[in-house]
Structure 1
Amino acid sequence: MLLINSNPELATEIPLWPSIPFFIILLAIAVGPLIAEHWWENNKNKLIISTVLSVPTIYYLVHMDLTEHLKHQILGDYLPFIVLLTSLFVITGGIHLSGDIKAKPKVNTFFLGIGFLLASFMGTTGAAMLLIRPVININKQRQFSVHTILFFIAAVANCGGLLTPLGDPPLLMLYLRGASFTWFFSLLPEWAFVGVLLLTAYYFIDAYYYKKEPAANLSADATEIKPIRITGAINFIFLLGVVFSVAFINHDVIPEMGEENAPYWLKHLREIVLIALTALAYFTTPNKIRKSNKFSWGPIVEVAVVFIGIFITMTPTLIFLSQHAPNMGLTDPWHYYYATGFLSAFLDNTPTAVAFHSVASSIPYADSIPLVANVAESILSAIATSAVFFGALTYIGNGPNFMVKSIAEDHKIKMPSFFGYMIKFSLIILLPIYILTQLIFM
Structure 2
Amino acid sequence: MFNLRPLAWPMAAMLLSMLPGLAHASEFDGAQLSVLWGVPFAGILLSIALMPLLVPHFWHHHFGKVAAAWALAFLLPFAVVFGAGEAASNFVHALVAEYIPFIVLLTALYTVSGGIYIRGNLHGSPLLNVSILGIGAVLASFMGTTGASMLLIRPLIRANDNRKHVAHVVVFFIFIVSNAGGSLTPLGDPPLFLGFLKGVDFFWTVSHIFPETLFLVGSLLAIFYALDWWFYHHKEEVMPRDPTPDTRRIGFDGGFNFALLLVVMGLVLMSGFWKSDIHFEVAGAHMGLPGVLRDLGLVLVTLLSLKLTPALVHESNQFSWGPMQEVAKLFAGIFLTIIPVIAMLKAGANGPFGAVVSAVTNADGSPNNMMYFWVTGALSSFLDNAPTYLVFFNTAGGDAQMLMTAGASTLAAISAGAVFMGANSYIGNAPNLMVKAIAEDRGIKMPSFFGYLLWSGAILVPLFIIMTLIWFI
TM-score range relative to shorter protein: 0.7 to 0.9
Unpaired runs of at least 5, structure 2: 1-24, 362-367
Give, as a single letter, the amino acid of the residue that structure 1 aligns with 2:419. Answer: V
**Do residues 339 (structure 1) and 339 (structure 2) align?**
no
Aligned to 2:58: 39
Give, as a single letter, the amino acid of the residue that structure 2 aligns with 1:275. Answer: V
Structure 2 vs 1, CA of residues 184 and 67 (structure 1 numbering), >3 Å: closer, same or farther?
farther
Give, as a single letter, the amino acid of the residue that structure 2 aligns with 1:358. Answer: V
- Name the stretch that deviates more: 57-66 or 152-161: 57-66
**How far does residue 231 in structure 1 lie from its aligned partner after superposition?**
1.0
Deviations 1:70-103 (A, max 9, x none): 5543322222111111111111111112322343
Give, as a single letter, the amino acid of the residue that structure 2 aligns with 1:240. Answer: L
Alignment check: 8 A CA contact 1:146 1:414 kept: yes
Q: How does 1:396-407 map to 2 (within 5 A)?
A: 396-407=427-438
Deviations 1:358-383 (A, max 9, x none): 25514668x998236xx955444333
Separation in structure 1 between the aligned mates of residue 161 and residue 213 of structure 2, nearest angstrom? 30
Q: How does 1:354-393 map to 2 (within 5 A)?
A: 354-355=387-388, 357-362=390-395, 370-371=402-403, 377-393=408-424
Deviations 1:37-83 (A, max 9, x none): 33233354145325423343355555685876655433222221111
Aligned to 2:268: 246
Alignment check: 8 A CA contact 1:325 1:360 kept: no
**Do residues 27 (structure 1) and 27 (structure 2) align?**
no
Alignment check: 8 A CA contact 2:143 2:187 kept: yes
Separation in structure 2 between the aligned mates of residue 418 and residue 306 of structure 1, nearest angstrom? 14
TM norm structure 1: 0.81
**How far does residue 293 in structure 1 lie from its aligned partner after superposition?**
1.9
Percent identity over paired residues: 39
Q: How does 1:104-115 map to 2 (within 5 A)?
A: 104-115=125-136
Q: How does 1:35-434 map to 2 (within 5 A)?
A: 35-41=54-60, 42-46=62-66, 48-49=68-69, 51-53=71-73, 54-57=75-78, 60=81, 62=83, 71-142=92-163, 144-175=165-196, 179=200, 181-186=202-207, 187-212=209-234, 217=238, 225-226=246-247, 227-250=249-272, 252-257=273-278, 268-325=292-349, 327-328=354-355, 329=358, 330-331=360-361, 332-345=368-381, 347-348=382-383, 350=384, 352-355=385-388, 357-362=390-395, 370-371=402-403, 377-409=408-440, 411=442, 413-423=444-454, 425-434=455-464
**How far does residue 384 in structure 1 lie from its aligned partner after superposition?**
3.2
Alignment partner of 2:33 out of 7, 10, 15: 15
SS in 2 for 1:371: helix
Separation in structure 2 between the aligned mates of residue 127 and residue 305 of structure 1, nearest angstrom? 22
Structure 2 vs 1, CA of residues 387 and 59 (structure 1 numbering), >3 Å: closer, same or farther?
farther
SS in 2 for 1:256: coil
Separation in structure 2 between the aligned mates of residue 293 and residue 320 of structure 1, nearest angstrom? 43
Aligned to 2:11: none
Separation in structure 2 between the aligned mates of residue 12 and residue 139 of structure 1, nearest angstrom? 49
Alignment check: 8 A CA contact 2:380 2:422 kept: yes
SS in 2 for 1:230: strand
**How far does residue 278 in structure 1 lie from its aligned partner after superposition?**
1.6
Structure 2 vs 1, CA of residues 58 and 353 (structure 1 numbering), >3 Å: closer, same or farther?
farther
Give, as a single letter, the amino acid of the residue that structure 2 aligns with 1:88. Answer: L
